[in-house]
Amino acid sequence: MAPRGRQAQPIPEKTLASPSFDRVAFVTNGTAEADIAASRLRARYGDNAVEDADFVVALGGDGLMLQTLHRVMSSDIPVYGMNFGSVGFMMNTFSEDDLESRLAAAQPTHIYPLSMEVLDTTGQTQTALALNEVSLFRASYQAAKIQIIVDGETRLDELICDGALLSTPAGSTAYNLSAHGPILPIEAQLLALTPISPFRPRRWRGAILSNRAVVKFITREADKRPVSAVADNVEFQHVLEVTVREDRSRGVTLLFDPGTSLEERVLSEQFRF
């Protein structure tokens, strides 16, 4: 992580101009339908370990896609999803045919994670990465009290709420949207800060921040009002402070069929009723 005042160097973007299809890995969400489809695809196109692959084809839903992206983040192997889940916002339609042609024509989208550092009530510090969002949740029947600091300056002294989240552009159409947060263009260098069921200040709807911002959440009355922090699917309990910033030293690449890029999907979501 680059220190404050220095811009972290972005990961080099892979070119798919001359792809090699000798090494493709298939992963599934474990359903019978996805496993049967994967068996047929492996027989037809070969199979490799994820760590040795040039491409990963994920058969499942958005949950599997997030798991797979976290798995390949250190190597940034491109991931092409085919929908066998319930939503499939980050997935392409399923077909056994012309996989090599679809991979060759696929449009890459590069996204970067949020780095979350948590200090808990025992004094222990832990870290995790989030491609969608970092969320704080009340962990008891009582509302959470959270102080919000942006780049060292207190912007909200006390938010009384069920929680709060900081979302990437890729995650802005997920939980952030359900919490009435803004949809961010996928290429925007922005983050969405959104309250979850705010009680006071009742009318505060959140903020749009630069992706260079460092956001710190400090919990009030942590023993009486316990709060948990979640980075995608990694949860830490009894948190005192949570510091979040974008990490441009890491990243992942998603592949989409022409005309169905993540950028187009995020744009289209803003015109749904």
Max distance between CA atoms of the chain, in angstroms, equals 59
Q: Is 63 annotated to bind ligand?
A: yes
Q: How far apart are CA 122 and CA 128, in angstroms?
A: 18
Identify the active-site residue in 35, 52, 62, 247: 62
Note whether 83 and 92 are within 8 A (CB). Answer: yes
Q: Any idea how long the chain is? A: 273
Q: Is 178 annotated to bind ligand?
A: yes
Radius of gyration for the alpha carbons in the chain, expressed in angstroms and rounded: 20
Q: Is 45 annotated to bind ligand?
A: no
Residue 97 a catalytic site member: no
Burial 157-167 (b: 16+ CB within 10 A, else e): eebbbebbbbb
Q: Is 62 annotated to bind ligand?
A: yes
Q: Is 15 annotated to bind ligand?
A: no
Q: How far apart are CA 24 and CA 97, in angstroms?
A: 15
Could you give the 3-state DSSP secondary structure of residue 135? Answer: strand
Q: Give CA separation, 64 vs 80, 123, 149, 207, in Å.
A: 11, 33, 33, 30
- Which residue spans within the chain are E strands per DSSP? 24-28, 55-60, 79-83, 107-111, 114-120, 125-130, 133-138, 144-150, 153-161, 163-167, 190-196, 207-210, 215-220, 227-231, 234-236, 239-246, 252-256
Q: Is 174 annotated to bind ligand?
A: yes
Q: Is 61 annotated to bind ligand?
A: no
Q: Which residues pair with 58 in a beta bridge?
A: 27, 81
Residue type, 204: W
Q: Is 80 annotated to bind ligand?
A: no
Could you give the 3-state DSSP secondary structure of residue 177? Answer: helix
List, as residue ranges, the binding site for NAD(+): 62-63, 132-133, 162, 170, 173-178
Please give the positions annotated as active site.
62
